[in-house]
Structure 1
Amino acid sequence: MRRLIAPTALALVLVAIAGALGAWQLRAWQERRAAEARDLTQLAPVPLTDVMGPDDPFPGTDLGRPVSITGEWLPQGAFYVSGRESEGRDGLWLVVPLAVGAATEPAVPVVVGWTPAEDAALVPTGTGEVTGWLQPPEGNLSVDDDPTDDVVPQLRTADAIQRVDNDLYSAYVVATTPAAGLEAATLDSLPEVGTFTALRNLLYALEWWVFGAFAAFVWWRWVRDEKATERVTDSPS
């Protein structure tokens, strides 16, 4: 039996190490997926210019982050986005570009609220201060049936930029507090976890656990063979 002590101790060490490393990789997998799916909407607002510049692509890691903007409303660039619901009612988003800083600076489209019908009197003017959630431009194969009106099917940068002389940020903001006479718009986009996010960590965890199981199997086979050999040796001739 003394011959079993060293192999058994070695097997226990290998299984423990493999189990611990597998658990470590599993935690890394879980943490990376949680980080990608994190909900930023409850964080304190930061200035939009701290998150992105007017020429920057949309920062995917900041999807849903609250941002603050101070600038000048561009009411001539206001438009509506159709097909938006509020408590089961069909309506529109009212979107107004807000120049970040002076009226000639690049602007960001701001969803200032939801309305059941078009109403030009609801468009804000003058200096604006907005806190809202950062969102990426929309875009699919939806077709604008009437390019001559102020209603579009999606909030696309390509549509918005035709209405103002300013450059536009590659993003839009959903105001947390609606403009006067409007209802709050619903936040559409939050991060989703990709299927293959941190998959390597999960595979490493499985690999370590398989190694630990293999070490335990080898130990079991060795012990079984040793005992069988002892029985043969101890049996009378």
Structure 2
Amino acid sequence: MPAALAPRLWPGHLLALVLVLAAGLLGLWQLDAWQARRADEARDLTRAEPVSLGSVMGPDDPFPGRSVGQPVTLEGAWVPAGTIFVSGREHDGRDGYWMVTPLAVGGAGEPALPVVLGWVASTGDAPAPPAGDAELVGWLQPTEGTGAVDDDPGDDVLPQLRVADLAQRVDEDLYSAYAVAQEGVGGLPAADLEQLPDAGRFTAVRNLLYAVEWWFFGAFAVLIWWRWLGEQLAPRRAEPQPEDEEHPDTVTT
């Protein structure tokens, strides 16, 4: 029997095997979560049948990651005082703006959802903000967070469509999302779908890093086991024996 398989070493082998298997399985679990999230984000819901906004999310709910691009039916009252423009948006190769007005879902005074009405070449060419009640279908989108800095916080032009920035301009509570009207409101050209932001992938990347981390732990366990085994199999040095002391004869005078 090889020396490495001696019964006295079995507990160490078993512990190392359990640690490596656990790290490997946990890494595979995180890898599967990463792949599943990527698959969810790759789903194209833009051609799905519209559903009511309430069946997807409530006013206090975080954005449901699986519903990016989901067409939703919206009914409510416009909040024209909250109209803003988002710069850096293209349409037919031309640079311009998105025109955005919140819609109080369910009626005046209710929580509002920002709605991209359409595209304008300049803020001066924009029509008057819509008012009154409305019914429309829009693609649901997560709030943007590009980190762009607003050079002029006092105007109605924003560099990104971030709900937190809009919340400072309206009295109504806001959903943690916005919608892009499928058909332009007030005669505006509809916003191009290619301008819609991708779903964030931070969670997916975190799952992938967790998988790598678990596999690193497994490799570290193998390294520790290998060093331990080498120490156990190394020839043991014989302990030095004390030398006999020589006692000189005692001379009596």
User: Which TM-score band (shorter chain)?
Assistant: 0.5 to 0.7
Name the CA shift for 1:195/1:55 in 2 (closer, same or farther; >3 Å): closer
Q: 153-162 vs 191-200, which deviates more?
A: 191-200
CA distance in 1 between counterparts of 2:205 and 2:161 reads 27
CA distance in 2 between counterparts of 1:142 and 1:191 reads 17
CA distance in 2 between counterparts of 1:141 and 1:103 reads 32
Task: State the number of aligned residues.
Answer: 174
Shift of 1:34: 3.8
Equivalent position of 1:186 in the other structure: 192
Identify which of 44, 55, 58 aligns with 1:50: 55
Normalized against structure 2, the TM-score is what? 0.63
Equivalent position of 1:125 in the other structure: 131
Name the CA shift for 1:143/1:70 in 2 (closer, same or farther; >3 Å): same
Q: Tell me the alpha carbon deviations over residues 148-188 of structure 1, each in whole angstroms, 9 at most, x when there is no partner.
A: 11101000111111111000000000000001231110231
| Aligned residue type for 2:166 | A
Q: Does 1:163 align with 2:169?
A: yes
Q: Tell me the alpha carbon deviations over residues 22-70 of structure 1, each in whole angstroms, 9 at most, x when there is no partner.
A: xxx9xxx7x9454442111111001111100111111101011111110
- Residue 61 of structure 1 aligns to a residue in which SS? helix
Q: Does 1:92 align with 2:97?
A: yes
> Any unmatched runs of 5+ in structure 2?
1-27, 212-253
Equivalent position of 2:141 in the other structure: 135
Q: Is the 8 A contact 2:142 2:199 kept in 1?
A: no
Name the CA shift for 1:145/1:66 in 2 (closer, same or farther; >3 Å): same
- Residue 180 of structure 2 aligns to a residue in which SS? strand
- Could you say what the CA RMSD is over the residues aligned between the two structures, in angstroms? 2.4
Asked which structure has the greater CA Rg, the reply is 2
% identical aligned pairs: 56
Q: 122-131 vs 59-68, which deviates more?
A: 122-131
Normalized against structure 1, the TM-score is what? 0.67
**Runs of 4+ off more than 4 Å:** 190-200
Name the CA shift for 1:71/1:147 in 2 (closer, same or farther; >3 Å): same
Shift of 1:145: 1.0
Q: Is the 8 A contact 2:40 2:66 kept in 1?
A: no
CA distance in 1 between counterparts of 2:207 and 2:40 reads 10
Q: Is the 8 A contact 1:68 1:129 kept in 2?
A: yes
Q: Tell me the alpha carbon deviations over residues 174-212 of structure 1, each in whole angstroms, 9 at most, x when there is no partner.
A: 000001231110231345874687998xxxxxxxxxxxx
CA distance in 2 between counterparts of 1:96 and 1:185 reads 14
CA distance in 2 between counterparts of 1:189 and 1:138 reads 7
Q: Is the 8 A contact 2:120 2:126 kept in 1?
A: no
Q: Tell me the alpha carbon deviations over residues 65-98 of structure 1, each in whole angstroms, 9 at most, x when there is no partner.
A: 1111100000011010001001110000000000
Q: Is the 8 A contact 1:64 1:134 kept in 2?
A: yes
| Aligned residue type for 1:154 | Q
Equivalent position of 2:155 in the other structure: 149
CA distance in 1 between counterparts of 2:187 and 2:40 reads 37
